[in-house]
Structure 1
């Protein structure tokens, strides 16, 4: 499912226009990005938790040349599915 299909599904499920559904979806994405950027996590009971995890600096290997390279530490977004979501797909 791509973004357009997702917006269409939200539109049908919430009985709203596609334009309203797209604004709602964009608003949700914006809030999630803003919260994660500020270091917060978002916990939606029954669905899951969005959080930021820290990835330590490490050494890697350039697959083309075989040279060892240093990979910087970084922050990565993470999602952990909740029990309700797990139960819904099993």
Structure 2
């Protein structure tokens, strides 16, 4: 399995795709990440065409176990960020 792309590599590739400099590409990437973070934190969802949908889901209160001690305790309800991968991306990866 290949190493994940770093932010520096992503910015360089984005600058190359856009035909601009790395500073502009970095600003664009930061803006997109900021918008996604704001929208999902507010309870909304963001669809990236051809990539997937990022959304926030609420988990109910539940019983969990500490693996070190075996002690069970109640975990409060919380929110988790989920991502559903688009069919187009799955198809391109699988062949």
Q: Give the Cα separation in 2 of the matches to 1:48 and 1:27.
A: 18
Partner of 1:69: 73
Q: Which runs of 4+ in 1 moved over 3 A?
A: none
RMSD over equivalenced CA pairs, Å: 1.2
Note the alpha carbon deviations across 1:21-55, whole angstroms, 9 max, x for none: 11100000000011111111112333211111111
- How many aligned positions are there? 90
2:44 partner SS:
coil
Gaps of 5+ in 2: none
1:26 maps onto 2:7 in alignment: no
TM-score when normalising by structure 1: 0.89
Gaps of 5+ in 1: none
